[in-house]
């Protein structure tokens, strides 16, 4: 029976495992800690995420694979290649920044949010999200997707006694479960027509599918994409985003906007480029249409936000994250048309890294402003420069990065790589649609930026910025500035193969 | 003229591009002890004058060290890899085409900084103002100095945010709308331009302008060239601006503060025409030849349209705004520049480059003068200024009136002043366009353009009559005549207008070899 026992490379699976174990530790520790010491849990979680991210370092030396079939060592469920490491870094780093935001928000919430549960859920979700890019078979992929999503539903509904929060959670839960169910059905179709769950084996076998099963396989491909498109918040699976972001605690919204998206698009990449490259004529156009719709609807939605409405800042970030998801999809769609799919995928990864650092920074400043102005309207940002110049300058920088205009050089060049992936693949029309969208997006980002520098109404109120928030803003700010000076740090992924 | 080693020249050019950026950052920090001046405002404005002054001196030294015997050769070149993933290189260099524009930018920005030191436009703190002007300067200088397509795009975009804030914060009536129009129009144009640049770069395998110019479009198929020229051309035409994409310009000029208008007309518009000469002409010649007749047609429509708009504004009772009028005259002048470029002949392109510089000097001067007039009378509305008989500026403030008349006749292209040569050469170019372009069409364009010069003369003279002349009542209050600081800011412009008019060879000698080489296909 020894042939059935798979060997496990513990170092390779360390990053998601550490996140999960620390989550359990925090949950248990919560029972034994008295009220005054609860803040400790937050710091333990932050440290756990940092250690998990550091555990990526020893894996840099080469590709590793584990959980391989004993009979066929080339078929593995878990692979730590460059793609995996980059996405795991993005996920764990994003979770770390979101955790830093949470420390302050939980402290301000004065025990209305149960701390032990919060940290446990956040870490479990992060563990699932870190597992996802490494999974190389459809079953692991779906398990990872669910591990990443299920805690997120609970996180969204965390605000006790807040009707909006529970409504958001329910909306999120129902739509997400539906999408997953559709996805599962697609996977079963693919399994039925190929007889395998391993991505590389599917890629092989699906080319020789029996003619009668051809339609089944095609339907399976499209349905499988639905679940991941949902996570990426692609239109028409985006309607949950604004309400969920507004209803959720702000750090959770930040987490979803970055890590949730990473889960979605890395799953999409695995399914399309690794498992179904021969079906690129099906998913290529589908993703191109999806990208086009997503960015247009997202940006127009953001454009229509009224600055005076309650929570308009968070709403705007929510809609703009939908628009940004559209840009992320462009290179994946281009991968379906181009001869060098790896290069196109690299553009998505590079863009996602930029977006993660910058968007979390913007959310961090929003969390800062939200401490005193609980309604978090865009008009509440008026005169931020007078009361807190550094935060205002950083937010302006983040917004211009998202818009892709200097001084946000990294935002500009990340967009350039996406454009070049589209132009290279011959998707000129998509590039033109994206160009128009960039202009629409500039309008609302710049409008917000100008508000920051207007003269404040009344005396500017100085407030002390809590250390975790300072750390989060500074971390993303420094990252953004450093990347603007040396864009090659992230853009190199768009040049070389990741798998 | 003076011998400077190549490595020093390299450092000088990099210095010119980078120092304004560092200066902009420094402007936001509190002044160090010893440089605090009388007040923080004064200190930061002085900082602006110092930095732009240093940049101007560096630019002049660079111009002196430039090898005037080989203006077609790229000089002071730096070539460092920056983003290998996108094949972006920090490739800087100047030749006879970019050098004059570089010096013009440094000069105009310095004059603007000097002017604002004494006459800060009304608005929020001067700290941000100085920082923005410096970022703007860096962006424009970089546009003229870089030799990499993506870097060119970066520099092209860099000026948008500062100019937006200069208009929206320190501008006059209707500034918010005007600023939005400015930034949305230009951004839409430049994003489309990016697509064209990417197309060229990806198909030819390099983003290096020198390599692409040497290749002269040989590695690009005709259809790629046509699409690329269309995309890049739209982006540049918005910036130039070419009729009918000009509609952001009059509003932006009317609302911008004086300094903003001067920089917008004097420098920013040149980025568009420079792009035509530097990128489109040598890199995609076949594509450009396809569009040249259309470009020329739009250019002459722009000339006539701009002049007619000015005539309508100058009419009595039209409530025309002087700033708006000069903005429309810019549309006309840039029409001549585009006509020269469209002719695709050395004569025409030289004329275009000459007209570029001349327009920067003359229109810069005119915007300064109108700004000064507004400071004194509180309005730029022609009817309010002139009332029934005329504003009689000659009587109330003779020097100011004289300068305004000088600017007006220079602008209408009086022989002996800078405005004349560029437009004449551009029309010469259209008289005998490149061999494969339809001569009858270009002859028609040339005659329409010639008619445009008449219209230009007409409205400029009407303006002079209504503003400078007139029988004001004897007891009318005197206006303050030209202040010393104004004289200091304007004299260089006046002097250079005369010099360029009397000694055009100084400029043409620089541009001609470089243009010959660009049209003949890259480096000879």
SS3 track for B109-122 = HHHHHHHHHHCCCC
From the list B85, B191, B227, the residue facing A435 with the nearest CB is B191
User: Does a structural domain hold residue B443?
Assistant: yes
Are B161 and A431 an interchain contact pair (Cβ–Cβ within 8 Å)? no
> Taking a contact as any Cβ pair under 8 Å apart, which residues of chain A between 160 and 219 contact chain B?
none
Q: How far apart are CA B146 and CA A217, in angstroms?
A: 52
Complex-level ipTM:
0.91
Are A435 and B160 an interchain contact pair (Cβ–Cβ within 8 Å)? no
CA distance, residue B244 to nearest chain A CA (Å): 19
Query: Over the stretch A264-273, which tens digit does the pLDDT of each residue have?
Result: 899 999 988 8
CA distance, residue B162 to nearest chain A CA (Å): 10
Domain count, chain B: 1
* Mean of pLDDT over chain B: 90
With beta carbons less than 8 A apart as the criterion, state whether A299 and A437 touch: yes
With beta carbons less than 8 A apart as the criterion, state whether B43 and B52 touch: no
What pLDDT sits at residue A4? 65
A139 closest CA partner among A238, A44, A67, A241 = A67
Distance of CA B411 to the CA centre of its chain: 14
3-state secondary structure B167-195: HHHHCCCCHHHHHHHHHHHHHHHHHHHHH
Residues near B378 by beta carbon (within 8 Å), at least 6 away in sequence: none
CA distance, residue B415 to nearest chain A CA (Å): 42
What pLDDT sits at residue A247? 84
Q: What is the DSSP letter of B295?
A: H
B29 touches chain A (CB under 8 A): no
Q: How crowded is residue A106: how many other Cβ atoms within 10 Å of its Cβ?
A: 25
Query: Over the stretch B246-266, which tens digit does the pLDDT of each residue have?
Result: 999 999 999 999 999 999 999
Give the mutation candidate from A382, A396, A413, A441 for the B interface (greatest B CB count, under 10 A). Answer: A413
B30 touches chain A (CB under 8 A): no
Are B154 and A412 an interchain contact pair (Cβ–Cβ within 8 Å)? yes
CA distance, residue A298 to nearest chain B CA (Å): 18
B209 touches chain A (CB under 8 A): no
Q: How far apart are CA A430 and CA B524, in angstroms?
A: 39
Query: Over the stretch A367-402, which tens digit does the pLDDT of each residue have?
Result: 999 888 888 888 888 888 888 889 999 999 999 999
What pLDDT sits at residue A158? 78
Contacts of A443 in chain B (CB under 8 A): 180, 184
User: Does a structural domain hold residue B393?
Assistant: yes
Q: How far apart are CA B281 and CA B361, in angstroms?
A: 25
From the list A412, A435, A453, the residue facing B195 with the nearest CB is A435
What pLDDT sits at residue A240? 83
From the list B161, B194, B227, the residue facing A416 with the nearest CB is B194
Residues near B66 by beta carbon (within 8 Å), at least 6 away in sequence: B1, B9, B75, B76, B94, B99
Burial of residue A412 (number of CB atoms within 10 Å: 0-12, 13-18, 19+) = buried
Contacts of A455 in chain B (CB under 8 A): 124
What pLDDT sits at residue A161? 66
User: Does a structural domain hold residue B322?
Assistant: yes
pTM: 0.93
A111 closest CA partner among A161, A154, A149, A150 = A161
> Taking a contact as any Cβ pair under 8 Å apart, which residues of chain A between 83 and 142 contact chain B?
none
What pLDDT sits at residue B115? 92
* Cα R_g (chain B), whole angstroms: 22
Interaxial angle between packed helices B126-145 and B6-28, expressed in degrees from 0 to 180 and rounded to the nearest 10: 160
Burial of residue A244 (number of CB atoms within 10 Å: 0-12, 13-18, 19+) = buried
B230 touches chain A (CB under 8 A): no
What pLDDT sits at residue A27? 93
User: Does a structural domain hold residue B423?
Assistant: yes
With beta carbons less than 8 A apart as the criterion, state whether A490 and A354 touch: yes
With beta carbons less than 8 A apart as the criterion, state whether A156 and A168 touch: yes
B178 closest CA partner among B167, B194, B191 = B167
- Each as own residue / partner, the long-range contacts of residues A33-36 (CB below 8 Å, 24 or more positions apart, any chain) are A33/A116, A35/A111
Contacts of B195 in chain A (CB under 8 A): 419, 423, 428, 431-432, 435
* Mean of pLDDT over chain A: 88
Distance of CA A150 to the CA centre of its chain: 15
B118 touches chain A (CB under 8 A): no
A452 closest CA partner among A364, A374, A379 = A379
Residues near B294 by beta carbon (within 8 Å), at least 6 away in sequence: none
From the list A400, A435, A443, the residue facing B184 with the nearest CB is A443
Beta strands at B88-94 and B75-83: parallel, antiparallel or unpaired: antiparallel
User: Does a structural domain hold residue B242?
Assistant: no
What pLDDT sits at residue B524? 46
Q: How far apart are CA B74 and CA B71, in angstroms?
A: 8
Q: How far apart are CA B429 and CA B351, in angstroms?
A: 8
B63 touches chain A (CB under 8 A): no
At residue B72, the 3 state secondary structure works out as coil
Contacts of A481 in chain B (CB under 8 A): none
User: Does a structural domain hold residue B29?
Assistant: no
Tell me which of B1 and A257 has the higher pLDDT: A257
From the list B85, B154, B165, the residue facing A488 with the nearest CB is B85
Contacts of A488 in chain B (CB under 8 A): 82-85
Sign, CA torsion B257/B258/B261/B266? negative
What pLDDT sits at residue A355? 94
Percent of chain A with pLDDT over 90: 45
From the list B165, B180, B195, the residue facing A432 with the nearest CB is B195
With beta carbons less than 8 A apart as the criterion, state whether B65 and B9 touch: yes
How far apart are the two ends of chain B, measured CA to CA in Å? Answer: 23
CA distance, residue B86 to nearest chain A CA (Å): 7
Whether the per-residue pLDDT at A435 is higher than 90: the answer is yes
Please tell me whether the peptide bond between A349 and the residue prior to it is cis, using omega within 30 degrees of 0. no
Residue of chain B whose Cα is closest to the Cα of A431: B195
Q: How far apart are CA B509 and CA B515, in angstroms?
A: 10
Q: How far apart are CA B494 and CA A43, in angstroms?
A: 68
Tell me which of A308 and B405 has the higher pLDDT: B405
With beta carbons less than 8 A apart as the criterion, state whether A203 and A136 touch: no
A432 touches chain B (CB under 8 A): yes
Residues near A81 by beta carbon (within 8 Å), at least 6 away in sequence: A63, A498, A499
With beta carbons less than 8 A apart as the criterion, state whether A346 and A496 touch: yes
Give the mutation candidate from B125, B191, B230, B234 for the A interface (greatest A CB count, under 10 A). Answer: B191
Query: Over the stretch A273-304, which tens digit does the pLDDT of each residue have?
Result: 888 888 888 889 989 999 999 999 999 999 98
Instruction: Say how many CB pairs under 8 Å bridge A and B.
Output: 92
Q: Which domain holds residue B387?
A: 285-524
Are A419 and B198 an interchain contact pair (Cβ–Cβ within 8 Å)? yes
Tell me which of A171 and A497 has the higher pLDDT: A171
- Phi first, then psi, for residue A284 (nearest 5°) are -60, -60
A455 touches chain B (CB under 8 A): yes
Give buried/exposed letters for A254-281 (b at 16+ CB in 10 A, else e). Answer: bbbbbbbbbbbbbbbbbbbbbbbeebbe
User: Does a structural domain hold residue B73?
Assistant: no
The pLDDT averaged over each successive group of 10 residues in chain B (524 residues) is: 86 93 90 79 90 95 90 89 88 92 94 91 86 94 94 92 92 88 91 93 90 87 92 93 90 91 92 93 91 94 94 86 92 94 93 94 94 86 78 82 92 89 92 90 94 92 87 68 88 94 91 89 56
Contacts of B135 in chain A (CB under 8 A): 407
Helix or strand run (H / E) with residue A64: strand A64-68
Helical ranges in A132-257 per DSSP H: 138-156, 163-194, 199-205, 214-232, 240-247, 250-255
A268 touches chain B (CB under 8 A): no
Q: What is the mean pLDDT of residues A54-80?
A: 86
> Taking a contact as any Cβ pair under 8 Å apart, which residues of chain A between 374 and 393 contact chain B?
none
Residue of chain A whose Cα is closest to the Cα of B192: A435
CA distance, residue B122 to nearest chain A CA (Å): 14
How many residues are given for chain B?
A: 524
B406 closest CA partner among B311, B494, B504 = B494
User: Does a structural domain hold residue B458?
Assistant: yes
Are B82 and A491 an interchain contact pair (Cβ–Cβ within 8 Å)? no
Are A424 and B202 an interchain contact pair (Cβ–Cβ within 8 Å)? yes
B315 closest CA partner among B198, B427, B465 = B465
Q: What is the mean pLDDT of residues A236-242?
A: 84
């Amino acid at each position: 029976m020894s042939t059935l026992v798979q060997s496990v490379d513990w170092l390779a699976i360390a990053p998601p495992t550490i996140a999960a174990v620390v989550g359990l530790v925090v949950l248990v520790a919560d029972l034994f800690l008295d009220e005054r010491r609860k803040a400790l849990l937050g710091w333990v979680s932050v440290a756990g995420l940092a250690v998990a991210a550091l555990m990526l370092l020893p894996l840099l030396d080469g590709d590793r694979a584990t959980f391989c079939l004993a009979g066929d060592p080339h078929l593995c469920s878990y692979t730590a290649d460059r793609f995996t490491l980059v996405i795991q870094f993005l996920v764990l780093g994003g979770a770390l920044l979101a955790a830093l935001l949470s420390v302050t928000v939980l402290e301000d919430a004065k025990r209305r949010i149960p701390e032990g549960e919060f940290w446990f859920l956040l870490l479990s979700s992060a563990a699932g999200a870190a597992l996802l890019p490494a999974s190389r078979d459809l079953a692991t992929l779906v398990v990872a997707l669910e591990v990443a999503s299920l805690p997120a539903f609970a996180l969204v509904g965390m605000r006790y006694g807040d009707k909006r929060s529970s409504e958001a959670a329910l909306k999120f839960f129902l739509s997400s479960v539906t999408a997953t169910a559709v996805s599962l059905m697609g996977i079963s179709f693919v399994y039925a027509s190929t007889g395998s769950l391993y991505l590389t084996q599917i890629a092989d076998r699906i080319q020789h599918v029996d003619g009668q099963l051809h339609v089944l396989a095609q339907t399976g491909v499209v349905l499988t994409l639905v679940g991941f498109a949902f996570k990426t918040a692609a239109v028409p699976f985006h309607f949950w985003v604004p309400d969920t972001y507004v209803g959720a605690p702000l750090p959770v919204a930040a987490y979803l906007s970055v890590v949730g998206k990473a889960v979605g698009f890395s799953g999409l990449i695995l399914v399309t480029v690794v498992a179904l490259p021969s079906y690129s004529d099906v998913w290529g156009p589908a993703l191109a249409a999806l990208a086009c719709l997503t960015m247009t609807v997202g940006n127009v939605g953001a454009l229509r936000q009224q600055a005076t409405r309650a929570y308009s800042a968070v709403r705007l970030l929510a809609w703009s994250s939908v628009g940004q998801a559209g840009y992320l999809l462009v290179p994946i769609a281009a991968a379906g048309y181009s001869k060098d799919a790896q290069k196109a995928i690299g553009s998505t990864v590079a863009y996602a890294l930029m977006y993660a650092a910058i968007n979390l920074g913007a959310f961090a400043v929003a969390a800062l402003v939200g401490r005193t102005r609980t309604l978090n309207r865009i008009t509440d940002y008026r005169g931020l420069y007078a009361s807190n110049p550094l935060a205002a300058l950083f937010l302006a920088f983040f917004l211009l990065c998202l818009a892709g205009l200097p001084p946000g050089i990294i935002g500009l060049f990340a967009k350039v790589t996406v454009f070049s992936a589209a132009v290279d693949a011959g998707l000129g029309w998509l590039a033109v649609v994206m160009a128009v969208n960039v202009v629409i997006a500039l309008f609302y980002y710049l409008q917000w930026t100008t508000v920051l520098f207007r003269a404040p109404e009344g005396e500017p109120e100085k407030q002390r910025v809590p250390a975790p928030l300072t750390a989060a803003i500074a971390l993303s700010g420094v990252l953004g500035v450093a990347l603007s000076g040396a864009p090659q740090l992230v853009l190199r992924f768009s040049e070389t193969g990741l798998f | 003229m003076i011998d400077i080693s190549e490595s020093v020249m390299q450092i000088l050019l990099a210095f010119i591009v980078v120092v304004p950026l560092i200066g902009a950052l420094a402007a936001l920090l509190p002044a160090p002890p010893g440089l605090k001046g009388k007040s923080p405002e004064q200190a930061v404005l002085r900082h602006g004058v110092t930095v732009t002054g240093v940049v101007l001196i560096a630019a002049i030294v660079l111009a002196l060290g430039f090898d005037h015997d080989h203006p077609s050769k790229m000089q002071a070149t730096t070539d460092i890899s920056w983003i290998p993933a996108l094949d972006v290189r920090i490739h800087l260099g100047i030749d006879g085409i970019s050098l004059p524009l570089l010096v013009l930018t440094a000069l105009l920005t310095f004059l603007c900084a000097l002017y604002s030191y004494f006459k800060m436009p009304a608005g929020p703190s001067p700290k941000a103002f100085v920082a923005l002007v410096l970022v703007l300067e860096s962006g424009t200088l970089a546009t003229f100095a870089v030799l990499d397509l993506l870097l060119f795009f970066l520099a092209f975009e860099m000026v948008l945010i500062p100019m937006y804030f200069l208009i929206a914060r320190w501008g006059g009536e209707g500034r918010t709308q005007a600023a939005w129009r400015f930034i949305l129009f230009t951004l839409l144009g430049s994003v489309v331009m990016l697509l064209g640049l990417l197309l060229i770069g990806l198909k030819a395998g390099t983003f290096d302008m020198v390599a692409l110019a040497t290749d002269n479009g040989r590695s690009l198929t005709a259809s790629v060239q046509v699409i690329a020229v269309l995309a890049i051309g739209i982006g540049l035409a918005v910036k130039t601006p070419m009729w009918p994409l000009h509609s952001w310009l009059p509003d932006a000029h009317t609302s911008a503060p004086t300094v903003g208008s001067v920089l917008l007309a004097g420098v920013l518009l040149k980025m568009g025409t420079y792009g035509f000469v530097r990128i489109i002409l040598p890199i995609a010649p076949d594509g450009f030849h396809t569009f040249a007749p259309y470009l020329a047609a739009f250019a002459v429509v722009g000339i006539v349209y701009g002049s007619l708009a000015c005539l309508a504004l100058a009419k009595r009772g039209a409530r025309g705004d002087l700033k708006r009028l000069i903005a429309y005259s810019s549309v006309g002048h840039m029409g001549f520049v585009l006509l020269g470029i469209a002719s695709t002949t050395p004569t025409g392109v030289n004329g275009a480059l000459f007209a570029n510089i001349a327009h920067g000097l003359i229109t810069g001067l005119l915007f300064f003068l109108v700004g000064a007039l507004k400071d004194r009378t509180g309005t730029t509305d022609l009817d309010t200024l002139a009332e029934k008989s005329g504003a009689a500026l000659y009587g109330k403030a003779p020097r100011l009136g004289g300068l305004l008349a000088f600017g007006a006749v220079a602008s209408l292209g009086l022989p002996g002043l800078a405005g004349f040569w560029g437009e004449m050469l551009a029309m010469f170019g259209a008289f005998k366009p490149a061999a494969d372009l339809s001569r009858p069409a270009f002859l028609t364009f040339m005659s329409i353009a010639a008619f445009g010069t008449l219209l230009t003369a007409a409205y400029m003279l009407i303006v002079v009559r209504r503003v400078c002349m007139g029988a004001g009542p004897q007891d009318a209050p005197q206006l303050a005549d030209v202040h010393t600081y104004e004289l200091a800011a304007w004299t260089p412009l006046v002097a250079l207008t005369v010099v360029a008019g009397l000694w055009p060879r100084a400029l043409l000698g620089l541009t001609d070899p470089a243009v010959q080489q660009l049209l003949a296909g890259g480096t000879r």
